[in-house]
Amino acid sequence: MSLSLDHISLVVGQWLQPLLQRLPPQVQDVLLHPFAPKAFLVLLTFAILRETNRSLTNWSMNNGERVEKWNADRELVLLTGGCSGIGKQMVSDLAKTRVRVVILDIQEPSFPLPSGVTFYKADITSSASIADVAEKIRAAQGDPTILINNAGVGYDGTILEKPEAKIRQTFEVNTISHFLMVREFMPSMIQKNHGHIITIASMASFIGLGDMVEYSCTKASALAFHEGLRQELRLWYKAPKVRTTVVHPLWVRTPMIKILTDAADFKQPILTPEMVSGAVVKQVVAQRSGQLILPSYYTPISMLRAFPNWLQEYARGVGSKDFVKLRAGQQKQH
């Protein structure tokens, strides 16, 4: 026997009526409208589908493995680029969880290190430098169990304007270093079938804008790196409990893009390092794989390449025009 939508709505309405009688008359008039049960049913269906999707995503991203309880004493976090910006905030927030943290950075910290935090100077674009510092870390503290590839650089300017050295440096720091760090520190995670590799990408992973072409390229590659890494861990190395997370922040108020975010006519949402760090640390403690888009209401941008080409081009144009306006404003000031 099949039930029609009208019949289901009638049943829902009869079930809700005793509950609604306790509400003010004005609210009852709205909720007892003939269309109210159907609307409720649609919302309920949407909620069920949403939760089902979340559950399936969580199950798939974590390879069907049970998530272990967080034990700070068991973990050692290795964070690149921890001396400024988002990385500096992560150091502070991670230290509050009482987990040990190791910072790798080319620059010295300009702030007192919290308890349990150690700094090593290293060039993460050099496999020799990484290998040298890795030996020191293992001797003093053991193998890192959580790797956060956070270090990143970016420069404004068009393809023709930007020096070759800056283009190469952007790829070396934002892309190549991920491979070098994983090659050095992932084998111990595979051996123990325990760990977490977090890739700090960007909303630029999904959309290429003018004036930041090489940066967009490196962040698109960071997403591809994360996706391929997941497959190798699961299928090649049989290490399903080594978690992986990729993070896509929108604009973040850091020194790297200060000239952009401080511009009076820049109208796009701007995150703080605290917002990004809080989301990453929460993911670390949860010990779950995932994809974080910040702010979350920008999630539709991740599906941009599924849109018609004319709509994709419009979205890229809107973002790129902000840089054109900024450049015009700078020229007026000079």
148-169 tens-digit pLDDT: 999 999 998 999 999 999 999 9
Q: In this predicted model, what pLDDT tens digit does every residue of 43-77 receive, in sequence order?
A: 778 788 878 887 888 888 888 888 889 999 999 99
Q: In this predicted model, what pLDDT tens digit does every residue of 115-154 receive, in sequence order?
A: 999 999 999 999 999 999 999 999 999 999 999 999 999 9
pLDDT at residue number 16: 59
- Catalytic option among 38, 96, 192, 219: 219
* Residue 130 CA from chain centroid, whole number: 24
pLDDT at residue number 208: 94
Q: In this predicted model, what pLDDT tens digit does every residue of 27-43 receive, in sequence order?
A: 656 655 666 666 667 77
Type of residue at 149 = N
For residue 170, count CB atoms less than 10 angstroms from its CB and return exposed for 0-12, middle for 13-18, buried for 19 or more. Answer: buried
Estimate the crossing angle of helix 5-20 against helix 36-61, to 10 degrees.
100
- Catalytic option among 38, 162, 192, 215: 215
Return d(Cα 332, Cα 58) in angstroms, integer: 51
* pLDDT band at residue 328 under the 50/70/90 scheme: low
Residue 1 has pLDDT above 50, yes or no: no
Residue 188 has pLDDT above 70, yes or no: yes
pLDDT at residue number 332: 55
Average model confidence (pLDDT) across the chain = 88
Q: Rounded mean pLDDT of 204-233?
A: 96
Token pair 């020799």 is found at 128
Q: What is the pTM of this model?
A: 0.85
Tokens read off for 210: 């003018």
Name the H helices within the chain.
5-20, 25-31, 36-61, 85-96, 127-141, 164-171, 177-192, 213-231, 258-261, 273-286, 309-333
Tokens read off for 128: 């020799």
Q: Is the distance from CB of 73 to CB of 89 less than 8 angstroms? A: no
pLDDT at residue number 30: 60
Residue 327 has pLDDT above 70, yes or no: no
Phi-psi region of 244 (alpha: psi -120 to 50; beta: other; left: phi over 0): beta
Which of the pair, 197 or 300, is modelled with greater confidence?
197
Residue 10 has pLDDT above 60, yes or no: no
Beta strand 251-252 with 76-80 is: unpaired
What structural domains does the chain harbor? 72-324 (3.40.50.720)
Which of the pair, 10 or 61, is modelled with greater confidence?
61
Q: What are phi and psi of 294, to 5 degrees?
A: -125, 125
297: annotated active-site residue:
no
pLDDT at residue number 5: 52
pLDDT at residue number 54: 79
pLDDT at residue number 138: 98
What is the enclosing helix (H) or strand (E) of 117?
strand 117-121
237: annotated active-site residue:
no
Residue 20 has pLDDT above 70, yes or no: no
Which of the pair, 328 or 45, is modelled with greater confidence?
45
- For the beta carbon of residue 303, count every other beta carbon within 10 angstroms: 9
End-to-end CA distance of the chain: 77
Q: What are phi and psi of 252, to 5 degrees?
A: -120, 135
Return d(Cα 258, Cα 269) in angstroms, integer: 14
- CA dihedral of 105, 111, 112, 114, whole degrees rounded to 10: -60
Residue 285 has pLDDT above 60, yes or no: yes
